[in-house]
Amino acid sequence: MGLPEDGYSSSAWETTDNSDINSSSYPAYGRSTQPHPPVLDISRDDPSMPPIPPKPSSPPPRSSSDSASRWHDNISVTVEHRDTILSSIPNDSASLVETTFDENVLRALCELDCGVPLLLDRIKQSMVSCREASAFLKKRAVLEEEYGKSMQKLSRTSADVYSMNDGKAGTFVKAWHTGMRIHEAMAENRLRFSQRLNEMSEELASLAKEVDKNRKQTKELASRYERALQDSELVTEKSKNRLDISSEELERVLLQKEGESFKDSAVQGRSQGANKRVLGKAVAKGGLLLKGKNPGNIQRQEDDVRARLSSASDAYRKAVTDTQATRQEYFNFQLPRILRSLKECADEIDLGTQYHLTRYAFLFESILLSDGSTLIPPTDEDGPGLKATIESIDNRSDFKTYMQNYAYARGSAPPRGPRRDGPAEEGFLPPLPPHGDRVHSSTQANAGAPNTSNSQTLDRGKPTFGVDLAVQMARDNAELPLIMEKCCQAIEKYGMRSQGIYRINGTSRKVAQLKEKLDKDLDSVNLDADEWSTEINNVTSAIKSWFRELPDPVLTLALHQGFIDAAKIENDRLRHIRLHERVNDLPDANYATLKYFLGHLHRISQFEAENSMSLQNLAIVFGPTLFGQMAPSTGANGQAHGGMADAAHQNKAIQTILEHYADIFVEEPEA
């Protein structure tokens, strides 16, 4: 059912001629079932009554044969449909609400004494619901409009500002602008959604206003019909009273004419009943006639009373006939028309409210699906989604391109940093030999060295324990600390399958003896000897002691808090990235040492089934060792730092680096 343009004009409200009305027979919607006399047209009898609003065009005259079915056949409301958004309703929207009129409901309403006020209150409730729905859609439209405009402004501003700033180029800037365009498309969808919501809100407000207008008009018309019926009943009551007075006067005259006393007659008995008040008035008005009055006067008085009685009888008969006609017309014709119009008015606003709410739900679902399709396009032809766009960023390729462009742009400029090469008299050291060659020569030297474990070790003047990493490596002209490399090779050779390797400590006396030999003459110590190879835990304890005695730990005191903060991150991927950044910040000597030693631990963890040393267990052993022992302190926020307070985060950092060892240290070969 469409929205009315100019109110509710029903075929039931049309005015026909008297012959048409008199020849009609309607179903028994009213309370009276007896045949009714000719129906009076109240609008013609009472000038104050407005005429019943006619249809735009009168229907053709109907005959008596088809008048019985007219009530059912010609009962639909004739309205002009507005060209609104209803034309865009989906094909299955016809099943939203049952649009056929329920005649049983109309019969039940006609049988109720409160049918009209019931429908008036119901329409008032429906108007409140309609206005609330309109207000909700209006406020929702404001929210969606603000959201859409804010996102649109943000996406455009972000794209423009990035273009003006000195940000990263390459795949990142392409992904950035594509992501901003995706956000702008989502913002435009929200703005269209807001516009639709505004349209529906205005239509609901217009519907409520139009229904309120028609409700008031119908209520006024019903009140006038009810007043007309009440006035007709009042006229009948007055006619009846006048007839009773005339009857009592005639009876009094007849009694006097016969010479009987009024007090001795049967009139006194009847006057004791319902007509006592009327008879008293008549007696008081005319007075009692004495027996000796002129008979001619009595006859004239009798004739006068009989004339008044006849006039009163005719007036009462006409009033009864008119009241019956008015009552029949009201209950059998006017009241059903009024109830039908009010019920259709209620159905109209209920249907309109439900339709717009259903359409709101449909549009809400559509906008969410549209956002999902924008973020994740169903086909490749629609372009990449937001996630695929972000994943298309190639940081490695962007950095290589940036490095090439940077080096090319500044190749001719004089160097601003420290010089790499220079004459020896100025303090420049010769370049370090390749790592592979130095390891090979060291292995051959160790293999050919005699077993001097029990002999007296000479002090070569190259202490190892308690000496800074960079100093050791520069002094020994090595890329890695020699003691670490020597001990790790022996451990991998003899202790990979040893139960609890690194967790179980060696003998204190043997460990102290090995530390002394390594500190005096590292090259003379043969770890392949049975004295050390059979008790590999002494070697593991010695290397752990070497790490702990470094003046500045492997992960350095300067970067200690940076590693701890990165380890506190809950997100695994982000924690990996931040720890990777901290590792890259290490000095060259510390970086090389950490890379070699963690690779050694990573290889040990591959034998976890035999040595029971998982990455977590190794991290627990070497967390405090590689971080060093910082003095406990309290930060500005009252949290403790250093010492045991950071032990859990130290272990987490080492475990994360071990888990992502290949990503952090092992570079992928170039294609």
Ordered by start, the domain boundaries in the chain are 103-258+296-409, 469-629+644-665
Cross-strand partners of 10: 77
- Per residue in 173-183, pLDDT (tens digit) is 889 999 999 99
Domain 103-258+296-409 identical in fold to domain 469-629+644-665: no
d(CA 431, CA 478): 10
> What's the pLDDT at 83?
37
> What's the pLDDT at 283?
44
Q: Is pLDDT of 112 > 80?
A: yes
Q: Is pLDDT of 16 > 50?
A: no
Mean predicted lDDT score pLDDT of the chain = 75
More confident residue, 107 or 547: 547
More confident residue, 423 or 67: 423
**DSSP 8-class letter at 78:** E
More confident residue, 641 or 624: 624
CA quadruple 341, 345, 347, 349: dihedral, nearest 10: 180
Fold of 103-258+296-409: Substrate Binding Domain Of Dnak; Chain:A; Domain 2 (1.20.1270)
Q: Is pLDDT of 240 > 80?
A: yes
8 Å CB contact between 30 and 335:
yes
Q: Is pLDDT of 78 > 70?
A: no
More confident residue, 331 or 45: 331
What's the whole-number mean pLDDT along residues 665-669? 64
What's the whole-number mean pLDDT along residues 215-233? 89
More confident residue, 101 or 617: 617
More confident residue, 265 or 624: 624
What's the whole-number mean pLDDT along residues 38-58? 38
Q: Is pLDDT of 484 > 60?
A: yes
Q: Is pLDDT of 1 > 60?
A: no
Residue 10 host element (H or E) = strand 9-10
Q: Is pLDDT of 71 > 80?
A: no
More confident residue, 654 or 102: 654
What's the whole-number mean pLDDT along residues 473-489? 90
Q: Is pLDDT of 451 > 70?
A: no
Phi, then psi, of 15 in degrees rounded to 5 = -105, 130
Pairing mode, if any, of strands 633-634 and 640-641? antiparallel
63-77, 243-257, 493-507, 567-581: least confident range:
63-77
What is the pTM for the complete model shown? Answer: 0.43
Task: Give exposure, 429-450, as e/b (b: 16+ Cβ within 10 Å).
Answer: eeeeeeeeebbeebeeebeeee
Residues near 177 by beta carbon (within 8 Å), at least 6 away in sequence: 159, 162
Cross-strand partners of 641: 633
Q: Is pLDDT of 445 > 90?
A: no
> What's the pLDDT at 300?
85
Phi, then psi, of 640 in degrees rounded to 5 = -80, 145
> What's the pLDDT at 380?
77
Q: Is pLDDT of 541 > 90?
A: yes
Q: Is pLDDT of 636 > 70?
A: no
> What's the pLDDT at 476?
87
> What's the pLDDT at 301?
83
Label residue 188 by pLDDT band (50, 70, 90): very high
Q: Is pLDDT of 463 > 70?
A: yes
Q: What CATH number should be reported for the domain whose range is 469-629+644-665?
A: 1.10.555.10
> What's the pLDDT at 194?
93
d(CA 52, CA 42): 10
Label residue 306 by pLDDT band (50, 70, 90): confident
What's the whole-number mean pLDDT along residues 374-391? 85
- Per residue in 193-208, pLDDT (tens digit) is 999 999 999 999 999 9
8 Å CB contact between 597 and 544:
no
Q: Is pLDDT of 254 > 80?
A: yes
> What's the pLDDT at 430?
62
Q: Is pLDDT of 13 > 60?
A: no
